[in-house]
Structure 1
Amino acid sequence: MLSFFKGYKTFAIVFAIISVIIIILIYNTLNVYQPLPIYQPTMVSTDLVDSTIQYQKKYHKIADFALVNQNGKTITQKDYKNKIYVADFFFTTCQSICPIMTKNMANIQKATMKYDDVMLLSHTVTPDIDTVEQLKRYAVIKGVNDAKWNLVTGDKKEIYKLARKSYLAVKDDGNGGPYDMIHTENFMLIDKKRQIRGFYDGTNPDDIHRLLADIEILRQEPNS
Structure 2
Amino acid sequence: MAGLLLALTSCGPSTNRLPVLGEKQAVKKTVNGRDVVDSVDHTIPNFRFVSQYNDTVTANTLDDKVYVADFFFVNCPTICPKMKTQMKRVYDRFKDNPEVMMLSHTIDPEHDSVAVLKEFADNLGVTGRQWLFVTGLKEDIYEIGQKSYMVTAAEDKTAPGGVVHSGAFILVDKEKRVRGVYDGTTEEGVDKLMGDIDKLLAEYKQ
Scaled by the length of structure 1, what TM-score is found? 0.73
Pairwise CA RMSD? 2.1
The structure-2 alpha-carbon separation of the partners of 1:97 and 1:172, relative to structure 1 and needing over 3 Å to count, comes to: closer
Shift in Å, 1:59 = 1.9
Regions of 4+ moved over 2 Å = 171-174
| Structure with the higher strand share, 1 or 2 | 2
Letter of the 2:74 counterpart = T
Q: 1:114 to 1:132 in 2, by over 3 A?
A: closer
Match of 1:168 in 2: 150
Which residue of the partner structure matches residue 74 of structure 1?
A: 56
Deviation at 1:41, TM superposition (A): 3.5
SS at match of 1:220: helix
185, 192, 203: which is aligned to 1:203? 185
Identity of aligned residues (%): 36
Mapped contact 1:61–1:194 kept (Cα < 8 A): yes
For 1:111-190, list aligned pairs within 5 A.
111-170=93-152, 181-190=163-172
Q: For the Cα contact (< 8 Å) 2:23–2:41, is it kept in 1?
A: no
Alignment of 1:36-55 (within 5 A): 36-41=18-23
Query: Number of aligned pairs?
Result: 174
Structure 2: which 5+ runs fail to align? Answer: 1-14, 25-38, 157-161
Residue ranges of structure 1 left out of the alignment (5+ in a row): 1-32, 43-56, 175-179
C-alpha change, 1:209 and 1:124, in structure 2 (3 Å) is same
Report the CA distance between 1:74 and its aligned residue. 0.6
Q: For structure 1, which segment, 76-85 or 181-190, has the greater mean C-alpha deviation from structure 2 after superposition? A: 181-190
**Aligned counterpart for 1:217 among listed residues 175, 199, 204:** 199
Q: Tell me what 1:98 maps to.
A: 80
Residues 185 and 201, structure 1, Cα contact 8 Å, conserved in 2 = yes
**Structure (1 or 2) with the larger CA radius of gyration:** 1
Structure 1 residues 126 and 193: CA distance shift in structure 2, 3 A = same
Report the CA distance shift for 1:167/1:127 in structure 2 as closer, same or farther (over 3 A): same
Contact 2:74 2:106 in 1 (8 A): yes
* TM-score normalised by the chain length of structure 2: 0.79
User: 2:165, 2:61 → 1: CA distance?
Assistant: 25
Task: Return the letter of the residue paired with 2:131.
Answer: W
**Alpha-carbon separation, structure 2, partners of 1:134 and 1:171:** 20
Query: 1:101 corresponds to which letter in structure 2?
Result: M
The structure where helix makes up a greater share of residues is 1
Shift of 1:181: 3.0
| Conserved? CA contact 2:153–2:163, under 8 Å | no
Counterpart CA distance in 1 for 2:121 and 2:204 is 34
Structure 2: distance between partners of 1:182 and 1:75 = 24
CA separation in 1, counterparts of 2:139 and 2:64?
Answer: 27
Q: Which residue of 2 aligns with 1:108?
A: 90
Q: Whole-Å Cα distance in 2 between the matches of residues 60 and 106 of structure 1?
A: 28
